[in-house]
Structure 1
Amino acid sequence: MTELSVDTAQQVLDSQPFSGLVGARITEFGDGEAVLEIDVREELTQQNGFLHGGVLSYAADNALTFAAGTTLGPAVLTGGFSIQYVRPASGRTLAARAQVVHTGRRQAVVRCDLYTVDDERAETLCAVAQGTVLSARQA
């Protein structure tokens, strides 16, 4: 398992212009897990006031990849993922919690649960994602 710090993970995230645009941050990172958070704001919502599905998809993709990076090393790429939206996302913060399910030599399978958090810190599951992350060194 590759030991990387949450600070290093945040630096990688900060180097992604789109991540800066949405205001993403890594709040947990290590041991096959990663949590990515985004503060919900009007610019990230769709016409009904819910967080746009593309923002949820982005959060899942990056959380999956960061979690896999803790087991495969820092050079990783998303091989593919699917996401199921279970309810409209509204709240103060989006939290994408990813956990590696299995790691092989060249790829990892990762699950991500996406929650919205309200002002009272209550969490509501809004989407579930699963994906395959590839080691870029062997891609």
Structure 2
Amino acid sequence: MNDTTDLAVAQKVLAAQPFSNLLGARLVAFAEGEATLELDVRDDLRQQNGYVHGGVLAYAADNTLTFAAGTVVGPRLLTAGFTIDYLRPADGTTLRAHARVVRAGRSRVVCRCDVTAVDAEGVETLCAVAQGTIAVPEAPREA
């Protein structure tokens, strides 16, 4: 397996992100054209009505979109933009985001992501869908 689709290498990249560590995110799948990120639902990730905060769902979508893009173009990436539609409140024990590449070009990669809440019995409920464009920045020029 090469570094572009090596789960252990991708997990090290995630571990280097302080905010991801704060949330307790973990990359559980990383293969050609797709990635899956999970995090345990905790009370401090909920909003006032008891559901997982929308910002947590947006984080999961954003990061997973970028990891999916990284499976086809490598690690030098930045989110150019994404949209998210919240379909229903997220509750359960685990939040799971699964993204896949729709189209990869030289400078942009378009991906889609489904964000689901998983309950204690393992039943998944689709809570949000996102689509994003991931930019592949030009390498810095030598002076």
Residue 79 of structure 1 is matched in structure 2 by 80
Q: Does 1:64 find its partner at 2:74?
A: no
User: Helix, strand or coil for the counterpart of 2:64?
Assistant: helix
State the partner residue of 2:26: 25
Provide the rounded CA distance (Å) in 1 between the counterparts of 2:122 and 2:55. Answer: 23
1:94 and 2:95 aligned: yes
Matched, 1:52 2:56: no
How far off is 1:138 after superposition? 5.5
Query: Which 4+ runs in 1 deviate beyond 3 A?
Result: none
- Tell whether the 8 Å contact from 1:115 to 1:123 is kept in structure 2 after alignment: yes
Distance 1:7 1:79 in 2: 26
Are the structure 2 counterparts of residues 111 and 138 from structure 1 closer, same or farther at C-alpha, using a change threshold of 3 Å? farther
Runs of at least 5 residues in structure 1 that lack an aligned partner in the other structure:
none
Distance in 2 between the 1:15 and 1:4 partners? Answer: 17
Q: Distance in 1 between matches of 2:3 and 2:132?
A: 20
Aligned partners of 1:3, 1:54: CA distance in 2, in Å? 28
Between the two proteins, the alignment pairs up a number of residues equal to 139
Partner residue in 1 for 2:128:
127
SS in 2 for 1:3: helix
Residue 110 of structure 2 is matched in structure 1 by 109
Distance 2:20 2:39 in 1: 9
Contact 1:106 1:138 in 2 (8 A): no
- 1:11–1:2 distance in 2 versus 1, CA, 3 Å: closer
Cα distance in 1 for partners of 2:21, 2:3 equals 25
- Give the drift of 1:2: 6.4
CA deviations over 1:56-96 (Å, ceiling 9, x no partner): 00000000000000111111110000000000000000000
| Secondary structure of the corresponding residue to residue 79 of structure 1 | strand
Structure 2 segments unaligned to the other structure (5+ residues):
none
Secondary structure at the residue paired with 2:4?
coil
Does the 8 Å CA contact 1:116/1:125 hold for their aligned counterparts?
A: yes
- Structure 2 counterpart SS, 1:47: coil
TM-align CA RMSD: 1.4
